[in-house]
Amino acid sequence: MTRPMLRLGTRRSPLALAQSALVAAAVTESTGWPVELVEITSHGDVNRASLVQIGGTGVFVSALRDALVDGRVDFAVHSLKDLPTAPAAGLAIAAIPPREDPRDALVARAAATLAELPPNARIGTGSPRRSAQLLALGRGFEIVDIRGNVDTRVAYVTDGELDAVVLAAAGLRRLGRAAVMTQLIDPDTMLPAPGQGALALECLVERADVAAALASLDDVATRVAVTAERSVLARLEAGCSAPVGVLAEVVELGFAEPELFVRAVVGHPSAAGEVFRSSITGSLQDAVGLGHALADRLLAESAYGSLGERVQ
């Protein structure tokens, strides 16, 4: 018997369409279930103001979730870093596939690295998290707020308007644009957004058939890592546009059980270039607890007292 077509809700951006097409192919290969893409326009796609101005968390998500609830699509694909940390009533993250490279990437003139950029170089990014960490390098970089798709951002460099831009390596790889990267930025220099490089496949809780099909794509190591990262974000009560970077990695010890190594950075919202860092290591079975403990450490040791209020 021929299965009905699964409708996958996706944003219209080139990157969203590319990663949704990868998911659709993986679902069909794994389950035999045919998938069609249903393009949805989100508020974040039509409003060109900065993410901080238009609300940050959820601006790329709400329209897809509305389509799920309305029955226009059977499941949706999100960039996990765009998802609010609070659960959505009636919806479930059925799968988190294996993560792409979570690091940030530099695209610079003359194939430069961060260390090779001149003092006071003009660097484009729409992310307060990236801005805070770039300023913390003490190089006097001028940060220029930009929006737009990958091609638009890369064009700022190729057209000579900016010296460099910072983008997610995962997006460039999924679009087949890895060649434009002039540096993969080490997490010791710049920690990525929580969940960066990972995708979330979301469906209605009541659609057990869809959830079962999507579950075949779930990657345990990725889910554990991003759970810890998002737990830090949730504890700090910070959104996806806040100056917070987190990276959790499963460390294989060889002689003992693997451990989860979690690093985080919080940028001061009003003191440019001031950031606070901390890390923690613990059991893979305690991803949420580790994330909360790391956030509490940041709040107790530096961020809470220095920021006056929790990161907004």
Kindly list the distances between the CA atom of residue 229 and the CA atoms of 43, 80, 146, in Å, as whole numbers in the listed order: 25, 11, 25
Residue pair 190/125 in contact (Cβ under 8 Å)? The answer is no
Residue pair 243/274 in contact (Cβ under 8 Å)? The answer is no
DSSP assignment letter at 302: I
4's CB contacts (< 8 A; 6+ apart) are none
Residue pair 230/254 in contact (Cβ under 8 Å)? The answer is no
The strand pairing partners of 262, in sequence order, are 248, 280
Candidates 7, 99, 153, 223; catalytic one: 153
240 is catalytic: yes
Residue with tokens 């997490």: 187
Candidates 82, 101, 104, 163; catalytic one: 82
Candidates 7, 65, 99, 129; catalytic one: 129
Candidates 11, 81, 207, 235; catalytic one: 81
Burial 73-104 (b: 16+ CB within 10 A, else e): bbbbbbbbbbbbbeebeebbbbbbbebbbbbb
Closest to 99 in 3D by CA, of 240, 282, 229, 12:
229
Closest to 165 in 3D by CA, of 157, 177, 173, 174:
157
Q: What is the Cα–Cα distance from 1 to 5, expressed in whole angstroms? A: 13
130 is catalytic: yes
147 is catalytic: yes
129 is catalytic: yes
Closest to 102 in 3D by CA, of 199, 12, 11, 14:
199
List the 75-79 sheet strands across, edge first: 35-40, 6-11, 75-79, 199-204, 91-95
Candidates 122, 147, 297, 310; catalytic one: 147
State the CB neighbour count (10 A cutoff) for residue 309: 8
**Strand 244-251 with 6-11, pairing:** unpaired
Catalytically active residues are 81-82, 129-130, 147, 153, 240
